[in-house]
Structure 1
Amino acid sequence: MSTAAEVAKRLMQINAIKLNPQNPFTWASGLRSPIYCDNRLALSHPDLRSFLIDCFVEKAADFGPVDGVAGVATAGIPHGALLADRLGLPFIYVRSKAKGHGRQNMIEGEMASGARLLVIEDLISTGGSCLAAVEALREAKYQVSGVLAIFTYGFPQAQSAFEAASCPFGTLSSYPVLLEEAKNQKYITNDQLKTLQEWQQDPKAWSIRFSN
C-alpha cells in the first residue's frame, strides 16, 4: 500500500474523513458535500499523529533545504509545530487576519528576513486561505519554498491558483486516492463512487442538483 493510501485509510478509520453521498454534509459556505474532512482529530491519536509527522518529514525533502516552518492558522499550526520540532527548525504561524489588539500581528513568532519557509496546512480545498498566508509571508520578506498539507480535494481551481501564485504544493494524500482506498475497503459501492467522482468535477453544480 502506498503512503498516500495508508494516510487515507487511517484518516477514515478515526472518522477524520467521512463520506456520505446519500446524506451530504453542509459546509460553512452553504454548499452540500458528500465528504467532510476534520484532520484535527488526528491530533488526539498519538500513533496516527506520529505517522503523519513521519510522512511530513519525508515529503518536506521534496522542497529542498528550508530555514523554518510556518503553520497556517489554525489547523496548520499543530502539525507545523510538530514538524518544526522534528526537524529542529524555528516555527512561526500566520493568522487569517491581523490581531485586533497589542502589536496587531498577522505573523506570530520570529524568523530572520529572507528565511526560506515551508508552509504547513491541514487541508487544501480551493487554496484561498493557504495562498493568503503565502502572500502575507512574502510581503514580510520571507521566501516560500512551497506548501505541504495532509489532504487535498484535488479541485482544478486549487491547482490553477497555486500555479498563478508560483507556489509549489504537495499533500500526503488526496481525494482520488481516498476514493480508491474507500472502494478497496468496501466503504463505498460502485454507485457511490460514481456520485463522489461527479462531486469533485463540479462541487457547486452537484450541490445545486442535490438540493433540487
Structure 2
Amino acid sequence: MNNKQVAEQLLKIHAVLLSPKKPFQWASGIKSPIYTDNRKTIGYPKVRDTIANTLVKLIKTKYPDVNAIGGVATAGVPHAAIVADKMKLPMIYVRSHPKDHGTGKQIEGHLPENAKVVLIDDLISTGKSVLNATKAVKKAGIDVLGVAAIFSYQLQDSEKNFKAADVKFDTVTNYSTLIQLASDQGFVDKEELALLKKWRQNPWNWN
C-alpha cells in the first residue's frame, strides 16, 4: 500500500525525520538521510487509530485466511494488540530472543489450533529482525501467512531477504510515497529530494 494519510501523519508528528544534507548514522554504519521512530505513534491516539484501521484493511485484503495476529517485539506489539482487538482475533508476540529464565519462551500468548498468523512490525529496513521472528514462529509449527508493517524503506536488501526466506510482506506506506509527499509539502527542496532518491538506490554510497 502507499497510504498518503499515514505518511503525512508520520511527518507531522516527527516519527520520520529527513535530513539529506546532515545524515543520521545507523547502528549498521549506514549514513542515512532518514530516521524513523514509529514508537512515537502510540502517543497520538488519532494517528495510532488510523494506522490500526489501515493495517486491518491491508490484512483483510492481502491475508483473508488470517485467524491470529502476532506482534514483533518491541515496537510491533502495541500495534498488533490494537489490530487484534479490532479484528477480534487472538494474539501472540515474539521476543527477539528466547527468555533466559523460566520456561525460556520466545513466543508469548495463545493461539487456536491450525493458526494462520500475520506478524506486525513497525518498520521494514533490511527485514532481518522480523524475519528472525517469522523463523521462530514457523519453528514452533505455526503457519505464518505474511508480515504487515507501518513503513518500509524499500531497500533492495529487504526485497532479497524476504524473497530468500519465502515470506510475503506488505506495508501501510513506504519511502517513495513519504519523500514525494515531503517534497510536495515543503519539508525538503528539489536538491534534497534528489539525495533522498539516490540514497535508496545505494545506501552505502550516496553522499
TM class by shorter chain equals over 0.9
- Superposition misfits of 4+ residues, deviation over 3 angstroms: none
Counterpart for residue 4 of structure 1: 3
Counterpart for residue 166 of structure 1: 166
C-alpha distance in structure 2 between counterparts of 1:64 and 1:141, whole Å: 20
**Correspondences of 1:93-104 after superposition (within 5 Å):** 93-104=93-104
Q: Is the 8 A contact 1:183 1:189 kept in 2?
A: yes
> In the TM superposition, what is the alpha-carbon distance from 1:148 to its structure 2 partner?
0.2
Q: Which amino acid aligns with 1:72?
A: V
Q: Mind listing any 5+ residue stretches in structure 2 that lack a counterpart?
A: none
| Structure-2 change in CA distance of 1:75 and 1:92 (3 Å) | same
Counterpart for residue 114 of structure 2: 114
C-alpha distance in structure 2 between counterparts of 1:107 and 1:139, whole Å: 11
The structure richer in helix per residue is 1
Counterpart for residue 48 of structure 2: 49
Q: Aligned with 1:203: secondary structure?
A: coil
Is residue 42 of structure 2 the alignment partner of residue 20 of structure 1?
no
Number of aligned residue pairs: give it: 206
Deviates more, 1:196-205 or 1:76-85: 196-205
**Correspondences of 1:24-173 after superposition (within 5 Å):** 24-61=23-60, 62-173=62-173
Q: Is the 8 A contact 1:5 1:173 kept in 2?
A: yes
Q: Aligned with 2:21: secondary structure?
A: coil
Q: Aligned with 2:205: secondary structure?
A: helix
Q: Percent identity?
A: 40
Q: Is the 8 A contact 1:152 1:173 kept in 2?
A: yes
> In the TM superposition, what is the alpha-carbon distance from 1:36 to its structure 2 partner?
0.4
1:37-60 superposed Cα distances (whole Å, 9 cap, x missing partner): 001101000111111111011101
Q: Mind listing any 5+ residue stretches in structure 1 that lack a counterpart?
A: none
TM-score, with normalisation over the residues of structure 1?
0.94
C-alpha distance in structure 1 between counterparts of 2:163 and 2:118, whole Å: 17
Q: Which amino acid aligns with 2:12?
A: Q
C-alpha distance in structure 1 between counterparts of 2:158 and 2:28, whole Å: 17
RMSD value over aligned CA atoms?
Answer: 1.3
